[in-house]
Structure 1
């Protein structure tokens, strides 16, 4: 073997490890050490419109909608459920709840939009129908962590705030798949919360998202990406959020939980659908996310290569670089997992971080795959 090959492998590994350490120190520490400012109870909180889009969700609505309808919010608020051409008993479930909860406002859609695909048309109808300027979005299969969910999200608004990003974790269940799903959700949140704290918000999740109705119409809604079925949450936030108008909420009372997929096939289809939108992000976001993902993907193969071919004493520097990245990562993960109520994942993170290498391989084709035409 030519002596320059081990040297090149060594320097390349050190560069990749340095890139990873940079992301953890510059971006991700912002979440790990974030201090949520205690919000003073508002004397006159703003009225709120909660919007839920549902298609064939009678079972989920029966089980989970009451937790939204029973929110303890002192100001005026309404719960809009957009029934998007359901074939099941969704309409009858909503009719039954309407008689008990006057704040519930069902909106029936009986035909598909021709030019707007996916969830964006029913959501646009819901936003247009909403009575109040502050919108809080969630899904039919979501359950707020507490009756103070709306209050907690609303309290994140300050003068000039137009977007509030919340956390939508998955429920804890037994098994490896559940840990993987929850870790991937945590890892995604680590990135979008940290970027928002750095003044570079690039996405939110529709399970727990809030923004102003006026912001939606000022930016012509989803007009910039109506042809893309997905992206009603992340592409819209990517287009309209900035350092001045965006805040995050990490109060545990603001979390909204969803049931995780039960099989590997279901989860993989869900993730492939989600990843079809990232190629439409702003160039700066694509570059930063791509550099982080690329360095993460190359880290373990380069570590293995250096273990095999790098002679002493350089091999000690290889382990030193990897150890530095590991320690910084552990500190960031511990602080961030505490904030996001995912502490039980901490002891699994070395294996889950290694799993990310396979994760990138599995889901890389989704970056150029054509999105499905339906949102459900």
Structure 2
């Protein structure tokens, strides 16, 4: 009985922590309107790094080239591809004067390192304002560049955007992937609004070339295969120089993995990178994930014994109420409304997946980015 009392009080603390996150921290997915006047439309270099992405480039590059923006160049980086990626790039360059190709060949010191390829592409970029996306992404509108670049100011030199995944009907895996993407975005947008920016996603990210070289580029973590987006933002982002972009026209959209195993491999790489975040960022992320896991474990333990079940059930209901209110508002803002009815089951599956990935990463290191 003493053990149950201890678990009950721990459960109350866990609920308070979860309410702190859902009712306060994660409620910050909002943005003030920004100006998109001609004064806020500097020249832009859009950068796409591709490794064996010939088919995706054929499919998605037109959506970038058709952007309604007065002056931008498209820098295509061929990262030592073994397929026809370079030929596809050359074909686009032949038809568009504002396309530039950077053909990267492997060297022993940086073998298979995306950061090395990106660094060469950034050096080759003509303009100071850099906008990044991946070869398997497409902007959801022709106003993508306008909206993302419109968030820059004299103070703000980093813009964090939303990289969504295309919806696939009758696919639970697709919903799970999009729910994980939503949760990740809710966290990095909210922490940025609270003055603690800690990551961004390379599918939709912008920063200035000046800032890149002031930070010595990726040199502080060049030895880590992944993290060209989140580790770099973690390194250089501050409350003053970072802003978020939540305009629906600013989103990009990617194709999600078609198999659970492929997605797990991708997430293993992403999660392993988080181990290199600043200590304060690892602490706040760990607190949420540990409290989330304890919520389910203690809920099951206390409900199964019927110990103070009325109070336990009430606290569980309160926690889910906060979750639904906060995530529903975020899902509507980020165009993920179809996920709302599935929040409880998706959360359980995501926690199980994350726990299994954590165990796998303890046993062996994930592979490089391609």
Q: Is TM-score (shorter-chain normalized) higher than 0.5? A: yes
Indicate how the Cα distance of structure 1 residues 204 and 35 shifts in structure 2: closer, same or farther if over 3 A, else same.
Answer: closer
Structure 1 segments, 4+ long, off by >6 Å, are none
Q: Distance in 2 between matches of 1:44 and 1:21?
A: 39
Answer whether contact 1:82 1:106 (CA < 8 A) is retained.
yes
Q: Normalising by structure 2, report the TM-score.
A: 0.96
> Conserved in 1, the CA contact under 8 Å of 2:157 and 2:211?
yes
Are the aligned partners of 1:190 and 1:336 in contact in 2 as well (CA < 8 Å)? yes
Q: 1:118, 1:373 within 8 Å by CA — same for their partners in 2? A: no
Root-mean-square deviation (Å):
1.5
Give 1:163-178 correspondences, 5 Å limit.
163-174=158-169, 175-178=171-174
Distance 2:259 2:366 in 1: 20
Contact preservation (8 Å) 2:31, 2:244: no
State the Cα deviation string for residues 308-338 of structure 1 (Å, max 9, x = none).
2243xx2211111111111111110110000
- Which segments of 5 or more consecutive residues in structure 2 lack a partner in the other structure? none
- SS for the counterpart of 2:42 is coil
Partner of 1:17: 15
**Cα deviation per residue 1:103-154 (whole Å; 9 max; x = unaligned)?**
1111111233514752100100011111111100011110100011101100
1:155 aligns with 2:150: yes
Quick one: structure 1 residues 82 and 369, their matched pair in 2 at CA, closer, same or farther if it must change by over 3 Å?
A: farther
CA contact (8 A) 2:265 2:366 kept: no
Q: Tell me if structure 1 keeps the 8 A contact 2:43–2:129.
A: yes
Equivalent residue for 1:143?
138
Contact 2:218–2:232 (CA under 8 A) maintained in structure 1: yes
Tell me how far apart the structure 2 counterparts of residues 366 and 203 of structure 1 sit (CA, whole Å). 23
Give the equivalent residue in structure 2 for 1:357. 351
What SS does structure 2 have at the residue aligned with 1:277? Answer: helix
Q: Alignment partner for residue 345 of structure 1, among 323, 339, 352? A: 339
Shift of 1:44: 5.7
1:83 aligns with 2:83: no
Is residue 220 from structure 1 mapped to residue 195 from structure 2 by the alignment? no
Q: Is the 8 A contact 1:116 1:227 kept in 2?
A: no
Q: State how far apart, in whole Å, the 1-side matches of 2:211 and 2:361 are.
A: 29
For 1:56 and 1:307, how far apart are their aligned partners in 2? Answer: 51
The residue number in structure 2 matching 1:134 is: 129
Q: Distance in 2 between matches of 1:113 and 1:41?
A: 46
Asked whether the equivalents of residues 28 and 190 of structure 2 are also in contact (C-alpha less than 8 Å), the reply is: yes
d(CA) in 1 for partners of 2:198, 2:365: 20
Alignment deviations for residues 10-63 of structure 1 (CA, whole Å, 9 cap, x no partner): 1111111110000112210111xx243142423461110111111111111111
Q: TM-score, normalised by structure 1?
A: 0.95
Quick one: which of 229, 238, 242 aligns to 1:233? 229
1:110 equivalenced with 2:105 (yes/no): yes
Cα distance in 2, alignment partners of residues 97 and 369 from structure 1: 44
Match of 1:277 among 269, 273, 276: 273
State the SS of the aligned residue for 2:28: helix
Structure 1: state its 5+ residue gaps: none
Which residue of the partner structure matches residue 68 of structure 1? 64
* Paired residues of 2:72 and 2:98 also in contact (CA < 8 A): yes
Alignment of 1:185-224 (within 5 A): 185-224=181-220
State the Cα distance separating 1:359 from its structure 2 match: 2.0
CA offset digits 1:319-368 (Å, max 9, x no partner): 11111111111110110000000000001101112223312322113554
Matched, 1:54 2:50: yes
- Map 1:248-327 onto structure 2 (within 5 A): 248-311=244-307, 314-327=308-321
Deviation of 1:298 after TM superposition, in Å, equals 1.2
CA gap of 1:232–1:44, structure 2 versus 1, over 3 A, is closer
**Equivalent residue number for residue 94 of structure 2:** 99
Task: Find the counterpart in structure 1 of residue 28 from structure 2.
Answer: 30
| Alpha-carbon spacing, 1:106–1:366, altered in 2? closer, same or farther (3 Å) | farther
| Structure-1 residue corresponding to 2:2 | 4
